[in-house]
Amino acid sequence: MCSPDLTPAPSPKGEGRLPLVVIVGPTAVGKTEISLQLAEQLEGEIVSADSRLFYRGMDIGTAKPTLVERARVPHHLIDVAEPDEAWSLAVFQKAARQSIADIHQRGRLPFLVGGTGQYIRAVTHGWTPPAQGPHLQLRSVLEDLAKVHGIYWLHERLKLLDSEAAEKIDPRNLRRTIRALEVIFITGRRFSDQRALGETPYHLLTIGLIRPRSELYARLDARIETMFVNGLLDEVQSLLGGGYSPDLPSLSAIGYRQCVSVLQGKMSREQAVIEIKRATRVFVRRQANWFKPDDPEIYWFNPGEVTVPWLAEFIRAFLLRTTEKSEQHHFE
To 10 degrees, what angle do helices 256-263 and 232-241 make? 80
Check pLDDT > 60 for residue 15: no
State the virtual CA torsion across 159, 163, 168, 169 in degrees, nearest 10. -20
pLDDT-above-70 percentage for the chain: 89
The pTM assigned to this predicted structure is 0.80
Q: pLDDT tens for residues 40-78?
A: 999 999 999 998 999 999 999 999 999 999 999 999 999
The pLDDT assigned to 293 comes to 83
The pLDDT assigned to 321 comes to 83
Q: From residue 178, give the alpha-carbon distance in Å to each of 121, 218, 246.
A: 21, 34, 19
**What's CA 140's distance to the chain center, in Å?**
28
What mean pLDDT do residues 188-198 have? 75
The pLDDT assigned to 132 comes to 64
- In eight-state DSSP terms, residue 196 is B
Question: CA-to-CA distance for 280 and 221, rounded, in angstroms?
Answer: 9
Check pLDDT > 80 for residue 127: no
The pLDDT assigned to 6 comes to 43
3-state secondary structure 87-148: CCHHHHHHHHHHHHHHHHHCCCEEEEECCCHHHHHHHHCCCECCCCCCCHHHHHHHHHHHHH
pLDDT-above-90 percentage for the chain: 63
More confident of the two residues 200 and 239: 239
11 in helix, strand or coil? Answer: coil
Fold observed for domain 136-194: Histone, subunit A (1.10.20)
The pLDDT assigned to 11 comes to 37
Question: CA-to-CA distance for 281 and 302, rounded, in angstroms?
Answer: 19
- In eight-state DSSP terms, residue 169 is S
Q: From residue 225, give the alpha-carbon distance in Å to each of 31, 218, 222, 228, 315.
A: 19, 11, 5, 5, 34
Check pLDDT > 60 for residue 327: no
Question: CA-to-CA distance for 46 and 70, rounded, in angstroms?
Answer: 9
* Cβ neighbours of 121 (radius 10 Å): 19
Write the CB contacts of 69 (distance below 8 Å, at least 6 apart in sequence): 32, 36
Check pLDDT > 80 for residue 310: yes
Under a CB-based contact definition with an 8 Å cutoff, are residues 132 and 184 in contact? Answer: no
Residue 175 pLDDT class (50, 70, 90 cuts): confident
Check pLDDT > 80 for residue 10: no
What mean pLDDT do residues 152-158 have? 93
The pLDDT assigned to 171 comes to 86
Phi, psi for 262 (deg, rounded to 5): -65, -45
Check pLDDT > 70 for residue 326: no
Q: pLDDT tens for residues 273-302?
A: 999 999 999 989 888 888 888 888 899 999
Q: pLDDT tens for residues 94-109?
A: 999 999 999 999 999 9
Closest to 8 (Cα-Cα) out of 328, 326, 327 = 326
Average pLDDT taken over every residue of the chain: 88
Check pLDDT > 70 for residue 325: no
Q: pLDDT tens for residues 204-244?
A: 999 999 999 999 999 999 999 999 999 999 999 999 999 99
The ranges of the chain annotated as CATH 1.10.20.140 are 136-194
Instruction: Please give the CATH architecture assigned to the domain spanning 12-129+196-331.
Output: 3-Layer(aba) Sandwich (3.40)
The pLDDT assigned to 82 comes to 96
Residue 114 pLDDT class (50, 70, 90 cuts): very high
277-287 b/e (C-beta count within 10 Å ≥ 16 → b): bebbbebbebb
State the virtual CA torsion across 260, 264, 268, 270 in degrees, nearest 10. 20
The pLDDT assigned to 268 comes to 97
The ranges of the chain annotated as CATH 3.40.50.300 are 12-129+196-331
Residue 332 pLDDT class (50, 70, 90 cuts): very low
